[in-house]
């Protein structure tokens, strides 16, 4: 078989394997980033696809040209100098203008998406947003519902189609990264600060959340469950939590703050009012009057 035919076969196999790999990844439910279940996650996936597509416009022709040049200019018995000189003005123009156009397109796409998907931007909806306060602890997540007067560790529930406004901070913990791959991007949770995130789920389900940044011994087990349900099921869940024997008081919170690993879900029927604000202000320096 001629060498040219072997080259075509190898290139064909490589292309087929690449396509099959992409198909398997897109169909694998474990690749949760490419299976968004919320409006923000959908926007992020669209951005990822757009950026990758623009990069492939450069990468694919570059690698094709690379293999072609290597094969074309390989050592031969009758070796001759290349017909096109690398220093030609035309080549230089192509090498600079085409990538510049692609980069300009990427800047435009990224700029628009960055402002559109800003985690601080409220999601447009006729429904009243649900506020949830989040405190990152070692190594667990505390979710407080200030309007409902309840709290939960490593679990929260919310209605489908209702915007959720998260306010995040941390206590006795290093900087954390709050991430729900199928619902949103990540946002940092830090002591003495309040960051914000807006989320809205498109369909019911239980979605995993995690700390997206290494933060110590319990990093791997610092996960939580975000459950999207119907509004009626959400109300039933609120009512059931209010029957819990656990209460989040000063003393119980002091115990909760202590570092611990692989923490189970815990539900609190009531929470000390203003606890989240107290945690934030705990790290604020208040100058004393003379």
From 3-17, 181-195, 233-247, the region with the lowest mean pLDDT? 3-17
pLDDT at res. 287: 60
> Three-state SS across the chain?
CCHHHHHHHHHHHHHHHHHHHHHHHHHCCCCHHHCCCEHHHHHHHHHHHHHHHHHHHHHHHHHHHHHHHHHHCCCCCCCCCCCCCCCCHHHHHHHHHHHHHHHHHHHHHHHHHHHHCCCCCCCCCCCCCEEEEEEEECCEEEEEECCCCEEEECEEEEECCCCEEEEEEECCCCCEEEECCCCCCEEEECECCCEEEEECECCCEEEEEEECCCCCCCHHHCEEEEEEECHHHHHHHHHHHCCCCCEECHHHHHHHHCCCCCCCCEEECEECCCHHHHHHHCCCCCCCCC
Are residues 49 and 134 both part of a single domain?
no
pLDDT at res. 180: 94
- C-beta separation of 178 from 187 below 8 A: yes
Tell me how far apart the alpha carbons of residues 193 and 174 are, in angstroms, rounded to a whole number.
Answer: 12
How wide is the angle at C-alpha 203 spanned by C-alphas 198 and 205, nearest 5°? 95
Are residues 142 and 219 both part of a single domain?
yes
- Torsion sign across C-alpha atoms 265, 269, 271, 276: positive
In this structure, is residue 123 part of a structural domain?
Answer: no
pLDDT at 28 over 60: no
Express each pLDDT in 83-139 by its tens digit.
Answer: 655 567 777 777 788 788 888 888 888 888 888 889 999 999 999 999 999 999 999
In this structure, is residue 83 part of a structural domain?
Answer: no
pLDDT at res. 109: 85
pLDDT at res. 60: 81
Give mean pLDDT, residues 158-166: 96
Structure tokens at 275: 């606890």
Express each pLDDT in 248-281 by its tens digit.
Answer: 999 999 999 999 999 999 999 999 999 999 999 9
Residue 2 or residue 236, greater confidence: 236
Tell me the pLDDT of the chain averaged across its residues: 86
- Torsion sign across C-alpha atoms 182, 184, 189, 194: negative
Structure tokens at 181: 């791959």
Residue among 60, 197, 67 nearest 132 (CA):
197
Are residues 38 and 100 both part of a single domain?
yes
pLDDT at res. 268: 97
Structural domain of residue 195, as residue ranges? 130-282
Express each pLDDT in 207-247 by its tens digit.
Answer: 999 999 888 889 999 999 999 999 999 999 999 999 999 99
Are residues 12 and 111 both part of a single domain?
yes
Residue 68 or residue 22, greater confidence: 68
Are residues 277 and 135 both part of a single domain?
yes
Are residues 112 and 183 both part of a single domain?
no
Are residues 197 and 110 both part of a single domain?
no
Residue 99 or residue 148, greater confidence: 148
Residue 50 or residue 16, greater confidence: 50
Residue in the block written with tokens 């409902």: 148
Task: Select the highest-mean-pLDDT range: 46-60, 95-109, 179-193.
Answer: 179-193
Residue 81 or residue 179, greater confidence: 179
pLDDT at res. 95: 77
From 2-6, 88-92, 157-161, 178-182, the region with the lowest mean pLDDT? 2-6
In this structure, is residue 2 part of a structural domain?
Answer: no
Give mean pLDDT, residues 6-29: 64
Q: Into how many domains does the chain fold?
A: 2
Pairing of strands 205-211, 150-153: unpaired
- C-beta separation of 119 from 185 below 8 A: yes
In this structure, is residue 124 part of a structural domain?
Answer: no
In this structure, is residue 122 part of a structural domain?
Answer: no
In this structure, is residue 173 part of a structural domain?
Answer: yes
pLDDT at res. 92: 76
Residue 29 or residue 103, greater confidence: 103
Tell me how far apart the alpha carbons of residues 109 and 47 are, in angstroms, rounded to a whole number.
Answer: 8
pLDDT at res. 78: 61
């Amino acid at each position: 078989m001629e060498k040219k035919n072997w080259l075509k076969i190898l290139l064909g196999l490589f292309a087929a394997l690449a396509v099959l790999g992409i198909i398997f990844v897109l169909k694998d439910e474990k690749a949760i980033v490419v299976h968004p279940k919320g409006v923000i996650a959908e926007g992020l996936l669209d951005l990822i696809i757009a950026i990758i597509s623009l990069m492939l416009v450069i990468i694919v022709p570059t690698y094709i040209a690379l293999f072609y040049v290597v094969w074309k200019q390989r050592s031969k018995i009758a070796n001759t100098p290349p017909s096109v000189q690398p220093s030609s003005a035309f080549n230089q123009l192509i090498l600079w203008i085409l990538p510049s156009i692609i980069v300009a397109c990427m800047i435009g796409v990224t700029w628009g998406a960055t402002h559109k998907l800003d985690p601080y931007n409220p999601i447009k909806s006729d429904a009243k947003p649900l506020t949830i306060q989040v405190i990152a602890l070692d190594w667990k997540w505390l979710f407080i519902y200030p309007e409902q007067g309840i709290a939960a560790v490593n679990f929260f529930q919310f209605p489908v189609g209702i915007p959720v406004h998260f306010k995040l901070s941390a206590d006795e913990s290093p900087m954390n990264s709050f991430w729900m791959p199928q619902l949103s991007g990540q946002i940092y949770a830090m002591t003495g600060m309040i960051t914000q995130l807006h989320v809205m789920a498109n369909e019911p389900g239980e979605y995993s959340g995690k700390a997206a940044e290494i933060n110590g011994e319990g990093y791997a087990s610092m996960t939580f469950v975000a459950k999207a349900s119907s509004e009626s099921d959400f109300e039933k869940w609120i009512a059931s939590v209010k029957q819990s024997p656990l209460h989040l008081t000063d003393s119980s919170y002091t115990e909760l703050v202590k570092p611990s690993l692989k923490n189970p879900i815990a539900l609190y029927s009531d929470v000390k009012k203003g606890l989240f604000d107290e945690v934030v202000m705990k790290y604020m320096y208040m100058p004393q009057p003379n």
